[in-house]
Amino acid sequence: METIVVDGLRKAYGEVQALDGVSFEVREGEVFGLLGPNGAGKSTTVRVLVTLTSPDTGAAFVGGHDVRTHQAAVRRTIGYVPQDSGVDQFGTGRENLMLQGRVQDMAGRDLRNRVEELLGLVGIADAADRIVRTYSGGMRRRLDIALGLVHRPKVLFLDEPTTGLDPEARVAMWEEVSRLARAESLTILLTTHYLEEADQLADRLAIVSQGRVAVEGTPTALKAGLRGDAVHVEVADDRLDAARGVLATVGAPPETTIGERTLVARVDHGGTALPHILSALDAAGIPVESVAVSRPSLDDVYLHFTGRDFQAEDRAA
Amino acid sequence: MKTARDTWYMVVRQARNLMREPIWIVMMVIQPMVWLILYGQLFKNVTRLGGFGTGSYITFLAPAIVIMNGFFGATWSGMAMINDLEHKVIERFLATPASRVSLVLSQIVRSAITAGLQGIIILIVSIALGVSIRTGALGWIVIVLTGMLVNSAFAGISQAIALLTRREATMIAVANFIGLPLLFLSTTMIARAQMPHWMQETARFNPVDWGVRAAREVVLPGTAWSTVGWYLLFLLLLTVLTTAWATWAFRAYQRTL
């Protein structure tokens, strides 16, 4: 059962083609990530799905409702946590939540109880009656998420949920999102330009680049699709050249060198290749300082499918 | 119904935020008094020129200050909208079923309520300064209502400019540009008879002057209620027009998203 269907969305802002035929589907109950560097079109896609803006062409459905023709129904179905918060900074957390519920046509005891429940659920109950301006970045983000959940939506859109948070708060937020997804049985679409975040949170993800989906799948499958693990071998610095020759003889020719002592080779299966590498180095009398096998990262996936370096592209945007 | 309800919620939100700014409250109360007292003293002897309909300048001035205050307040009302736009508060509501019209209308209503409260304060201070409103309770209502209407009419314009330009600097420029000229092209501070002819003629098209004339009519001797009625009607029509413009500007803003 597909909760979100996106089919060939295109949208231009002046000369800039923000969306250039974005298509993907999100199944009920999953956490789906849109991963890509800044400016790839993730936020624009979300803004179309939450009815803030309309596409030039293409179709999109959320919870079975057409986002172009049944906007009111979509707005009742979804919670939207925008990148730039949108919280009223001069109001308290509770006041913001109450108002959000009221415009969603909630009232009375139901609303009050729901607000109380959410304040506890996202862990800002103690700060509920403080002005939002006094909140820390992490608290504010928690309030943002609570605002998106007041009316018990089925689908939650999280646009860059951890941008601007320090690493500690980011990890806490990941746990929070996973927990909320279960507690509220939500379908979540989140955008992120953190590879690690997509890896941690998303059941499935689509890599977005230049207004299109470059590839789609589970993080594990995408990485497995690269075929191969990276093997890092650290040797004493005067033996680097010798070690390079030895690795080539056992089918693991080093691709790159990190610093003065570490060789990186790509092999089909790290676990199988490692004993051969180690015994060959031992036989050649080259002492090994350390060795590590790593599965490919989403960085590698991005490079592979878009032909561009993720970090460089993200900085350039 | 949903529009009325959402507008009310939004008005409450804005009013509550303002109430949390002690400086704003002090300014809101003191500023109109400053005008009343400073202008009242400065031009005290001007009634000797004649044509004022009263020998007491403060009596001539007080109802007009209510209008002027409403007008000045309105020219700044778009600032709150720009603040909400900048902090993406409006966008957040746009992704909910919140009434679109309420997002604009609430700004105008909040502005008018402020003008009304200030109007009441100005009238109370005026009484203390010796002004008597000879038409009594009805006179009070007319003056405060006129102040609110003038405010709404210009708040609509201010909101539209805020939504179309979305820049504080532009708002300030526009407020400064229209503020004093419209004030001096009206009978706020001086009798019509003492204005140059071309100004008298220009003032006829100035909504600030419509408000001043309606409000003053209920204070000075010989109140002509039909005059009051006509000016209130003009102001009401203008308010409808500028509110419609602000609503249109809101849709234009939505198209830029």
Domain boundaries, chain A: 2-223, 227-295
Answer with the residue of higher pLDDT: B112 or A260.
B112
Query: Does A305 have pLDDT greater than 80?
Result: no
* End-to-end alpha carbon distance in chain B: 27
**How much is the pLDDT for B252?**
96
Answer with the residue of higher pLDDT: A263 or A255.
A263
**How much is the pLDDT for A225?**
72
Q: Which residue among B16, B17, B94 sits closest to A52, beta carbon to beta carbon?
A: B94
Contact A121, A146 (CB under 8 A): yes
C-beta atoms of B257 and A47 within 8 A: yes
Chain B 90-129, residues with CB within 8 Å of chain A CB atoms:
90-99
Contact B9, A99 (CB under 8 A): yes
ipTM for the complex shown: 0.89
Domain boundaries, chain B: 2-255
Instruction: Look at the domain A227-295 and name its fold.
Output: Alpha-Beta Plaits (3.30.70)
Query: Does A10 have pLDDT greater than 70?
Result: yes
**How much is the pLDDT for B138?**
94
Q: The tokens of A296 are what?
A: 């490919």
Q: How far apart are CA A196 and CA A177, in angstroms?
A: 15
C-beta atoms of A104 and B95 within 8 A: no
Sheet with A254-258: strands ordered across: A254-258, A262-267, A229-235, A288-294
Q: β-strands A187-192, A155-159: how paired?
A: parallel
Q: How far apart are CA B58 and CA B49, in angstroms?
A: 15
Give which of A96, A100, A94 is closest to A151, Cα–Cα.
A100
Query: Does A308 have pLDDT greater than 80?
Result: no
Closest CA in chain B for residue A71: B97
Average pLDDT over residues A57-65: 96
Query: Does A315 have pLDDT greater than 80?
Result: no
Closest CA of chain A from B253, distance in Å:
11
**How much is the pLDDT for A317?**
61
Condensed to tens digits (0 to 9), the pLDDT of residues A118-151 reads 999 888 999 999 999 999 988 999 999 999 999 9
C-beta atoms of A103 and B17 within 8 A: no
For chain A, the average pLDDT equals 88
Q: Which residue among A75, A86, A104 sits closest to B87, beta carbon to beta carbon?
A: A86
Residue with tokens 């509920």: A128
| Mean pLDDT for back-to-back runs of 10 residues, chain B (257 residues) | 94 93 86 88 90 91 96 93 94 95 96 95 92 91 97 97 93 90 94 94 96 95 93 98 97 93
Q: How far apart are CA A310 and CA A38, in angstroms?
A: 10
Q: What is the pTM of this model?
A: 0.85
Neighbours of A154 (CB within 10 A): 17
Q: β-strands A57-62, A204-209: how paired?
A: unpaired
Residues on A contacting B at a C-beta cutoff of 8 Å: 47, 50-53, 72, 75-76, 78, 80, 82, 84-91, 95, 99-100, 102-105, 131, 147, 151
**How much is the pLDDT for A76?**
94
Neighbours of A300 (CB within 10 A): 19
Query: Does A171 have pLDDT greater than 90?
Result: no
Closest CA of chain B from A151, distance in Å:
10
Closest CA of chain B from A210, distance in Å:
19
Answer with the residue of higher pLDDT: A165 or B220.
B220
**How much is the pLDDT for A309?**
64
Confidence of residue A227 (pLDDT cuts 50, 70, 90): low
Chain B 69-88, residues with CB within 8 Å of chain A CB atoms:
87-88
Condensed to tens digits (0 to 9), the pLDDT of residues A80-115 reads 999 888 999 999 999 999 999 999 999 999 999 999
Give A198's contacts (C-beta < 8 A, 6+ positions apart): A33, A35, A192, A205, A219, A298
Closest CA of chain A from B122, distance in Å:
28
Q: Which residue among A80, A86, A104 sits closest to B97, beta carbon to beta carbon?
A: A104
**How much is the pLDDT for A92?**
96
- CATH, range A2-223: 3.40.50.300
A41-45, A147-151, A161-165, B81-85, range with the lowest pLDDT? A161-165
- Collect all residues of chain A within an 8 Å Cβ-Cβ radius of residue B87: 84-89
Sheet with A16-27: strands ordered across: A16-27, A2-13, A57-62, A65-66
**How much is the pLDDT for B227?**
94
3-state secondary structure A113-154: HHHHHHHHHCCCHHHCCCEHHHCCHHHHHHHHHHHHHCCCCC
